Every structure is written in C-alpha cells, then in structure tokens.
A and B are shown apart, each in its own frame.
Chain A
Amino acid sequence: MSDQNMRFLVVDDFSTMRRIVRNLLKELGFSNVDEAEDGQVALHKLKNSQFDFVVTDWNMPNMTGIELLKAIRADAQLKHLPVMMVTAEAKKENIIEAATAGASSYIVKPFTAATLDEKLKKVFATMGK
C-alpha cells in the first residue's frame, strides 16, 4: 500500500506550512502531492480528482480540518480515505475529537520526517489489513 506514487492532498491555510509538509513527504519519497488552502477547497479537489491520502491542518478559515474530516467520513465516495490531522493542539479534548470523527492519525507540530514516516507507516499498516 505504501506506494511511492500515492497521491497526497496537503491542506493548510498557511502556504509555508504546506511547503514544509510537502518537503517532508518528498523526503520520504512521496512526490505526488497537491495542496489546498482550506477544507472547502480540499473537499472540492477530493470530489473531482483521485487522492490516496489527506494530510490536513486543524485550524483553517471557511472550513476547518475537523469539519473536513467529518465531511470526508460522511461522503460515500471518500469515507475510506486516510486522513491525518496535523495540528499544534496537543490537548486531550482535541485528540479525542479527532479520533471520534475518524482521524486515521494525529500528528503534533512541529514534527520531523522520521515522525511523519512512522505515523504514515502505522496508517499504511492499518490500511493494508
């Protein structure tokens, strides 16, 4: 499942952050990456094009990451898509909220390529089952 051609969608309103995540993914060998600046744009892209993995920020204007996650899980076409929440919130209630909404993984900023790799592998392992 951990195919290097997997198509990622990185969602963050802060373009620097999208670039950071994109660079980290590239470091791990994933270079098929598209970006979206908020949940709305992301959802539109997801519905109109094929993606294999979503990495999304939490706090965004228009549509937050958690709203995006809920929308993905509620969509028949998209509900199996792995979604990794990226956020600076390490608060328990946030993590619970993300888990309840069906996040595949949760990663706290700032993180290294190694941490990201480890988290991705965990998700791939679950998906591969």
Chain B
Amino acid sequence: MSDFSGMDDLLQDFLTEASDLLADVDNKLVELEKRPNDKALLNDIFRGFHTIKGGAGFLNVDPMVSLCHRTENLFDKLRNNEIELTLELMDVILAATGVVRDMFAALSMARMPTAADPAILAALDDVLQGKSPAAHSSDEETKVEAVPVQAPAQATSQAQPISADEGPDWQQLYEALTEKTPAPVSPVLEVAPMKIETVVDAPQPPAKPVLADPMQALKPVPAAPAPVASAKSQASTGQQLAAQETTIRIDTARLDQVLNLSGEIGLTKNRLTTLRTDILSGKMDPNTLKALDEAIGQLDLLVSDLQNAVMKTRMQPIGRLFQKYPRLARDLARQLGKDVELVISGEETELDKTMLEDLNDPLVHLVRNAVDHGVETIEERIAAGKPPKAVVELTATQVGDHILIEITDDGKGMRPDVIRRKAVEKGLIDLEAANSLDDKQSLQLIFMPGFSTKDQISSISGRGVGMDVVRTNIQKLNGRIDIQSVSGEGSRFTISLPLTLAILPVLVVKVMDQPFAVPLAMVREIIPVRSDSIQEVSGRATIVVRDEILSVRSLAGLLGWPEDHLPSFGVLMQTAEHSFILAVDSFVGRDDVVIKPLQNIRPKGVAGATLSGDGSIVLVLDMEDLLASTNADSSAIKTGRFLTEKIA
C-alpha cells in the first residue's frame, strides 16, 4: 500500500531531516513574532521552506511542493520588504506549517498527502498578490476540492516561470552572456520529475505541455483525509507508532568509539584464548594466573566501556523534542488570549531515543497545562501585580545517572486546600482521608484518575484524564514526577528519568532459593520481618514503619506459590498507586541488568529475564503487572491469614 515503494530509504531520510527543519522553522516563526524585521530569521525560514520544497520535489510530493513554494515566495517577499508581516499573515503562515506537518504524518505512513486546504493556498496567493489574506469561505473550498489539480497547477506555473515561449529568449541571453556553448536549455527536461509509476497516473493536460510535467505527478486523492486528520488528533494512538522514526543519526565519532572498543575486546579475547591453551596444558604458574586475572580485568573494563559507547549511539539531544513546544505554547496562548513565553534551556541534554519518543505526550500535556491552567490571563496578572507576559520555563539537566526535566510557570500556583476539596467533591477520597493529607500530599491528588481542577471541561487541556496518564507514562519509563507549587507564585513539575531503559538497576531477592529481580527505582528500603512486628488490620497483615501503616504482600503469595514459612525480609516498595511491603525470604543485592524480553510467552508479572553473575536465569518482575494480575484483596488476606496463624 506504499505510495513510495522503492524509495522508502530516501523517504525516511527526508522525513527525519525535513521534520527537524520544519520544527526549526516553527521556532523561528515564534521568534519572528518578537522580531518581525530580523533579516537573518527571515532568511532562515525562507531557506527552510525552500529546502523542504526541494526534497519534496524529488519525492514527487506535489501537494507539499505547491504549498512550500508559496510560503517560500512569501518569505522571499518578506525579506525583500515587499510585504509586511501582519498578525493575520502570521496565522496563515503558521497554519501552512501545520499543514506541512500533517503532510509529513501522511508520508511517514508512506501515503501521498492530500492537497493542502485550498483556503490556505488561496490566502497565501492573496498575500503574494499584495492583498490581505481574506478569509476564504468553505464554499470556495469545496469548489476547488472538486478539481484538485487546479491549485497545484497554478503553483506550477509560478514555480516554473520559464515557459516554452520564454525558453529561446533565455538561450540567446545565455549565449550572449557566456559566449560559449550553453548548457541545454530545455525547460521541459529540467522540470521533469523523477518518474514514479504509481504516482504518475493523472492524464496529461494538453493545454500547457511545458508546465504539465510536475502536475502529472499530482495524484488526485479524492476523499482520503483520514490518515492526516487522525495522526493530528490522536497523538498517542497506533497511528503514531507508524510515524515513529526508525532511523537514527549518529555522530561518526561515537560509531568509531564502538568500533575501537570492539577491536580491543577482540584483542583481549585472543589473549584469553592463548591463556586458556596454557592453562589446559597444565601451565598454571603464578605468572599465567596473574595474566589471566589482568586479561579478565581488562575485559571487564572494555565491556562496560562498550556498553556505554553503544548506549551513547542511542542518545539524542532532548532539544529535538523541546523545539516543538514554543510553537505549541504560542498557539495555545493566543487562543486563550494570554501572553506566554516558553523559555527553553538544556536542549543539548541527551536521552535514550525510545524514551525521547515516549516523553513527547507527557511533555505536550504539561506544557499545555502550564499555559492553560498554570498562568493567568493578562488582566489577572496585571491585577496581581505581575508582568503581563507569563513565563513558562522548560529545562533539562543531567544529574548523575538521571535526567531532570522541569516545567516551571510563574502563574497562580495551586492551593492544597482547593485541591483537597475538589478531590472530596469528586468522590476520589473521603473527607477523613483528605484531612489527613499534608500540603505536599494534597498536590499529589491531581495525579488521581478523574481529577481536574477546572469545573468547566476545557477543550484545551483535556478532560481530567490528563495528569494521571502523564504520571503513568513517566512511570513506564522508570521515571517519577513531582510537583511543587506556591499559591500566587507558580508551579513546578519535575520529571526524573533514568538515562536509558536498556540497563535497569534492580534489587535481586530470593523466594525459596529462586532469585527474582525487582526494579530498584521502586525500592525505598529493606526491613526485617519479625512475627511480632506484624499487625492484623481488618484481615490484612500490616507493618507499621515510622507511623505509616503498610500492607504486607508476600512475593510467594503474589506468584501463587505455597506460603509455608514466614518471610524474613520486607522490601518497602513504592509503586504509582501506593506503598507496600514485599515479603521475601532473602535478598542477594543490587545489580545492573540488561533485560531480555521473553519470546512467545508472557507470564503475568514478568517483564523479562536476565542472567545473574553465576549464569543462572533471573526473572525480572513487573510489579505493577504482578499486583494488577493478582486479586489484590485475596492475596493480602491470604497472607494475613497465614501470618496471623503463625503468630497464634
């Protein structure tokens, strides 16, 4: 079903590169609003559209060529002061970049994008002809849509001003100027696009043979706006999976490092092979053993270096994600009548590529949230004695082996008492529970499913399904999210993420001599389990740790194993929903493991397997899944009964 069979590689390259370029253009457009006469900016934006057009031309994506051609011309006129940048014009331009992005989405699914909304094309044409971008009615839209070839045809005629009539003129001119044999001057050939059979199926209009070629390639796609529309509206569905990049750009220096290290590992392996021969033939003098020790030590270092180097090839600057947001914030602020500036820093901070992709939805939500709910309107800000322009800061920093991402706004902040009241009103918690929460805990309530501090459901920041989804997504990345907020001064969301998902720090615990690994990120502490410390609270076994009553779940019970003895240790675990004590027989210690997914089987509660130092297989537990898959109450009660029996 690909419209680009045989060109997939090229298409991928184009999408990767052109999407970056477009994001850059978007940011420059937001900049341009502040400095409308900045020549360098105008030039850069012009070149951005120009380059996208050029690439799209080779791929025969005529709807994109036709649109980018107009925007390019527009910026040509802007930089030459032939037209002036107005707010209306800015909206048209921004709408156009939105359409280009939608076209990228279609392309990423290997589909030829539909022609741009004729209203946008018409508005651009108006500006190019020196008129103001009048609103084009939907009547016109449907009229032109019926004849989709028409709009690009106009573009083509503008794009290729050398018509057949002008050709000979130019040739004479060329000869006169250069006084040598001119290069072939056949514009027909020059504009001939690369031939793609699946695309070239429109009949050739006979009227303008010279200009017809690019038009030929335009495949009228009558009623297929679905992929574009859905890719736009449902960012987190399967549609987007298709849009995820499958290629990656890597600094060659990093690849060289991988190559170097693997070479050195090869050398060390040779050394070991020689030593093995020596040892097997009975040569076991202290020197040989010392050499063996050294070689293994060397290998140890090299392998960990190689792991790091390979990991680095997957690292991408977070700026690639961040650069999409200024435009997002700007559009939203405009829509809401607010004045908001998104200030970005730490773009160079690097993060694993897969995490980067999964981080987009949560960050989009938080940025929107900050603009929509966080900051006040201009009037409110003036009344509160604040500068009318609100500032939302988005920063990324690496702290040790973690990445910290912060979204800070200088808006009205959150009031813990209001949040508590709302949570009670919505029936998420009871009054007693609400009163026992301190301010910090109260803020956490916004992460509860169904919580939304706005009485009115806003079309912008969602329907109260947002923050809990944000937290779930962050936790899927083994990360955590915290809130700080001062009423009247603003809020700060802090996301903490591990550098990579490839290597997971775990705690290895044992149940009946079988080792299991649990993610270290969830482990708060390890406590001894003594029978006299267990208390029964409404049929459940609990242990009080520093005034906090925590239920005890035995890992054996969760796994469905017989519970015939008292576990010796309790691992205090913190999951998304609650804290509890995981009771185990013993523990081995912490380890950094590489998780191998299990093929074909998917036991509940198991994220994958890994090898321990002695070569035995260790199952890595997915605690959320394990808890969800076990009937929580019965397991706890069972544990309780067993434990209470023991006490008795």
Binding site for B on A (CB under 8 A): 13-17, 19-20, 23, 57, 59-61, 88, 90-92, 95-96, 99-100, 104-112, 115, 118-119, 122-123, 125-126
Chain B residue at smallest Cβ distance from A88:
B54
Q: Once the chains bind, are B13 and A110 in contact (CB under 8 Å)? A: no
Q: Interface size on B (CB < 8 Å)?
A: 39
Q: Once the chains bind, are A90 and B161 in contact (CB under 8 Å)? A: yes
Q: Which of B181-189, B197-205, B306-314, B554-562 lies at the binding interface?
A: B181-189
Q: Which residues of B contact A15 (CB under 8 A)?
A: 13, 17
Interface string of B161-204 (1 = CB under 8 A from A): 11000100010011001101101100101111111000000000
Q: Which of A14, A57, A60 has the most CB of B within 10 A?
A: A14
Q: Which residues of A contact B177 (CB under 8 A)?
A: 96, 99-100
- Shortest 9 CB-CB distances between A and B: which pairs? A110-B57, A108-B190, A110-B58, A105-B183, A16-B14, A16-B13, A14-B51, A88-B54, A109-B54
Q: Which residues of B contact A107 (CB under 8 A)?
A: 190
Contact of B58 among A20, A96, A105, A115 (CB under 8 A): A20
Chain A residue at smallest Cβ distance from B43:
A61
Chain A residue at smallest Cβ distance from B191:
A108
Q: Once the chains bind, are B51 and A115 in contact (CB under 8 Å)? A: no
21 contacts between A and B (CB under 8 A): A14-B17, A14-B55, A16-B10, A16-B14, A16-B17, A59-B51, A88-B54, A90-B160, A90-B187, A90-B190, A91-B161, A92-B162, A92-B173, A100-B177, A104-B183, A107-B190, A108-B190, A110-B193, A111-B190, A115-B190, A118-B189
Q: How long is the Cα–Cα vector from A125 to B182 in the complex, in angstroms?
A: 11
Q: Which residues of A contact B54 (CB under 8 A)?
A: 14, 17, 57, 88, 109-110
> 14 new A-B pairs (CB below 8 Å) besides A61-B47, A122-B181?
A14-B54, A14-B55, A19-B13, A61-B44, A90-B187, A92-B161, A99-B178, A107-B190, A111-B192, A112-B195, A115-B190, A119-B183, A122-B183, A126-B181
A105 to chain B, nearest CB (A): 4
Q: Once the chains bind, are B170 and A95 in contact (CB under 8 Å)? A: yes
Q: Once the chains bind, are A17 and B51 in contact (CB under 8 Å)? A: yes
Q: How long is the Cα–Cα vector from A14 to B10 in the complex, in angstroms?
A: 12
Q: Once the chains bind, are A109 and B174 in contact (CB under 8 Å)? A: no
A87 to chain B, nearest CB (A): 8
Give the tally of cross-chain contacts (CB within 8 A).
98
A22 to chain B, nearest CB (A): 11
Q: How long is the Cα–Cα vector from A118 to B183 in the complex, in angstroms?
A: 9
Interface string of B462-501 (1 = CB under 8 A from A): 0000000000000000000000000000000000000000
Contact of B174 among A23, A99, A125 (CB under 8 A): A99
Contact of A88 among B17, B57, B181 (CB under 8 A): B57
Contact of B47 among A59, A100, A111, A119 (CB under 8 A): A59
Q: How long is the Cα–Cα vector from A17 to B52 in the complex, in angstroms?
A: 10
B177 to chain A, nearest CB (A): 5
Q: How long is the Cα–Cα vector from A44 to B55 in the complex, in angstroms?
A: 26
Interface string of B546-583 (1 = CB under 8 A from A): 00000000000000000000000000000000000000
Q: How long is the Cα–Cα vector from A126 to B175 in the complex, in angstroms?
A: 14
Q: Which residues of A contact B21 (CB under 8 A)?
A: 14
Interface string of B9-24 (1 = CB under 8 A from A): 0100110011001000
- Which residues of B (14-58) have their CB < 8 Å from a CB of A? 14, 17-18, 21, 44, 46-47, 50-51, 53-55, 57-58
Q: Once the chains bind, are A16 and B159 in contact (CB under 8 Å)? A: no
B193 to chain A, nearest CB (A): 5
